[in-house]
Amino acid sequence: MEIGIDSFASAMYGDNNTLSSVDAMEQLLQRIEFADQAGLDVFGIGEHHKKEFLDSATAVILSAAAARTKNIRLSSAVTVLSAADPVRVYQSFATLDLISKGRTEIVVGRGSAIEAYPLFGYDLKDYDGLFKEKLELLLQIRDNEFITWYGKFRPELNNLPVYPRALQEKMPIWLGVGGTPESFIRAGSLGLPLMVAIIGGQTHRFRPLIDLYREAGEAAGFKPHELKVGLHSPGYVSNTTEKAIDEYYPGYAELWTKLGYERGWPPVTRGKFDGLIDDLGVLIVGSPERAAEKILRHSEALGGVERFTFQMDNAGLTHLQLMNAIELIGTKLIPLVKKG
C-beta separation of 107 from 174 below 8 A: yes
Element (H, E) at 237: strand 229-237
Q: Over the stretch 36-52, which tens digit does the pLDDT of each residue have?
A: 999 999 999 999 998 88
Name 279's Cβ contacts closer than 8 Å, sequence gap at least 6: 294, 297
Distance in angstroms (rounded) separating the CA atoms of residues 100 and 114: 30
Distance in angstroms (rounded) separating the CA atoms of residues 177 and 329: 25
Residues 305-319: what's their mean pLDDT? 90
DSSP string across 147-194: EEE--SSS--EEEEE--SPPSSTT--EEEEE-S-HHHHHHHHHHT--E
Number of independent structural domains in the chain: 1
Q: Over the stretch 227-284, which tens digit does the pLDDT of each residue have?
A: 999 999 999 999 999 999 999 999 999 888 887 777 788 888 999 999 999 999 999 9
What share of the chain has pLDDT > 90, as a percent? 87
Distance in angstroms (rounded) separating the CA atoms of residues 56 and 50: 8
Distance in angstroms (rounded) separating the CA atoms of residues 191 and 127: 22
3-class state of residue 123 by DSSP = coil
Instruction: Place 168 in a pLDDT band, splitting at 50, 70 and 90.
Output: very high
Q: Over the stretch 205-222, which tens digit does the pLDDT of each residue have?
A: 999 999 999 999 999 999
List beta partners, residue 161.
146
Distance in angstroms (rounded) separating the CA atoms of residues 155 and 268: 45
**How many residues make up the chain in this entry?**
340
* Count of other CB atoms within 10 angstroms of residue 7: 25
pLDDT score of 192 = 98
Instruction: Compute the mean pLDDT over every residue in the chain, rounded to the nearest whole number.
Output: 94
Query: Residue 4 above 80 pLDDT?
Result: yes
Distance in angstroms (rounded) separating the CA atoms of residues 221 and 224: 10
pLDDT score of 331 = 98
Query: Residue 67 above 90 pLDDT?
Result: yes
Q: Which domain holds residue 52?
A: 2-339
What share of the chain has pLDDT > 70, as a percent? 98
Instruction: Place 288 in a pLDDT band, splitting at 50, 70 and 90.
Output: very high
pLDDT score of 12 = 60
C-beta separation of 258 from 300 below 8 A: no
What Å distances lie between residue 169 and 66, 102, 144, 221, CA to CA? 19, 9, 10, 21
Q: Over the stretch 102-143, which tens digit does the pLDDT of each residue have?
A: 999 999 999 777 899 999 999 999 999 999 999 999 999 999
Residues 55-63: what's their mean pLDDT? 97
CATH of the domain at 292: 3.20.20.30
Instruction: Place 316 in a pLDDT band, splitting at 50, 70 and 90.
Output: confident
Instruction: Place 162 in a pLDDT band, splitting at 50, 70 and 90.
Output: very high
